[in-house]
């Protein structure tokens, strides 16, 4: 695991600076007050004012700080030193109170104490984690009784397709359990950036996600599936509503994104 984690950490350290300067993240607009959260999670989570919120895999903290702007008492966690450094810098620069913790998710009980009203994570995070059962246990460990966990994420079925093909082409197994190695050029936010690296990712099934939460003692409130996603995941997608990408009408509709809300009793 150390080999995979170190490679991914190096990748995210490099991506922090690339992404922070990208049009995709539009950091200057965020500094002027633009909200980085989507209407989906704002609606499905609801009012966070006065609540403690733990953001897992927070990158450089835009969403974490957006929740703070909405009144939450926030803590962001990431394993990238450069990501956490930038998140802390943004918190200071914008005078937005926030705590940022440098930790691998699975090591978090050794780096953070306490429990939270809300645990949040979103968009492109779960494929970096090899062990869903342990993920569920970490969430249960840090969630207060009566608290909620919320995730909005890529639908696992989407990951079976070749993201360079001009039509649906199955390339990866839905049930693949070994890490998948990718040679990386640039970043997802700026494909033309001057960077090369190696990425390791893990495919998980929808049942992996659900069973991890249930086995950790959480109760599912809902599972929602959506025929759109918040970036151009396949080259033939079309942007319709601002920031939401859909399949063309002549393609079969498949689930592209999902959200789960669960509670701890």
Of the pLDDT bands very low, low, confident and very high (cuts 50, 70, 90), residue 243 is: confident
Tell me what the mean pLDDT of segment 137-144 comes to: 98
1-5, 19-23, 95-99, 130-134: the lowest-pLDDT one = 1-5
Percentage of the chain surpassing pLDDT 70?
100
**Which pLDDT score is estimated for 178?**
85
Of the pLDDT bands very low, low, confident and very high (cuts 50, 70, 90), residue 114 is: very high
Of the pLDDT bands very low, low, confident and very high (cuts 50, 70, 90), residue 1 is: low
CATH T-level fold of 2-157+175-223+255-264? Rossmann fold (3.40.50)
Of the pLDDT bands very low, low, confident and very high (cuts 50, 70, 90), residue 256 is: very high
Write down the domain spans for the chain: 2-157+175-223+255-264
**Which pLDDT score is estimated for 93?**
98
Tell me what the mean pLDDT of segment 29-40 comes to: 96
Of the pLDDT bands very low, low, confident and very high (cuts 50, 70, 90), residue 4 is: very high
Residue 177 has pLDDT above 80, yes or no: no
Residue 176 has pLDDT above 90, yes or no: no
d(CA 73, CA 120): 13
Q: Which two tokens stand for residue 119?
A: 């645990």
Tell me what the mean pLDDT of segment 199-213 comes to: 97
Tell me what the mean pLDDT of segment 70-98 comes to: 98
b/e map of 12-43 (b: 16 or more CB within 10 Å)? bbbbbbbbbebeebebeebeeeeebbbebbee
54-58, 118-122, 136-140, 243-247: the lowest-pLDDT one = 243-247
CB 101 within 8 A of CB 84: yes
Tell me what the mean pLDDT of segment 35-58 comes to: 97
d(CA 75, CA 101): 7
b/e map of 193-225 (b: 16 or more CB within 10 Å)? beeebebbbbbbebebbbebbeebebeeeeeee
pLDDT in tens, 148-167: 999 999 999 999 999 999 99
Residue 138 has pLDDT above 80, yes or no: yes
**Which pLDDT score is estimated for 115?**
98
């Amino acid at each position: 695991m150390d080999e995979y984690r170190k490679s991914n950490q190096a990748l995210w350290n490099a991506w922090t600076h690339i992404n922070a300067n990208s049009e995709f993240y539009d950091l200057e607009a965020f500094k002027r007050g633009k909200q980085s959260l989507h209407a989906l999670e704002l609606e499905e989570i609801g009012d966070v004012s006065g609540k403690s919120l733990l953001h897992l895999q927070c990158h450089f903290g835009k969403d974490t700080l957006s929740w703070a702007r909405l009144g939450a008492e926030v803590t962001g966690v990431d394993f990238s030193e450069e990501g956490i450094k930038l998140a802390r810098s943004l918190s200071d620069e914008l005078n937005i109170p926030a705590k940022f913790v440098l930790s691998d998710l699975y090591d978090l009980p050794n780096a953070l104490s306490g429990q939270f009203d809300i645990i949040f994570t979103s968009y492109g995070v779960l494929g970096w984690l090899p062990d869903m059962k342990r993920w569920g246990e970490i969430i249960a460990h840090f969630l207060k009784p009566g608290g909620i966990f919320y995730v909005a994420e890529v639908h696992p079925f989407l990951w079976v397709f070749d993201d360079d093909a001009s039509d649906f082409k199955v390339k990866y197994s839905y049930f693949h359990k070994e890490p998948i190695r990718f040679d990386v050029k640039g970043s997802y936010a700026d494909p033309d950036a001057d960077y090369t690296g190696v990425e390791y990712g893990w495919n998980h099934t929808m049942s992996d996600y659900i069973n991890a939460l249930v086995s950790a003692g959480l109760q599912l409130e809902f599972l929602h599936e959506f025929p759109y996603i918040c970036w151009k995941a396949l080259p033939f997608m079309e942007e319709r509503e601002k920031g939401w990408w859909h399949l063309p009408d002549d393609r079969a509709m498949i689930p592209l994104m999902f959200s789960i809300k669960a509670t701890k009793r």
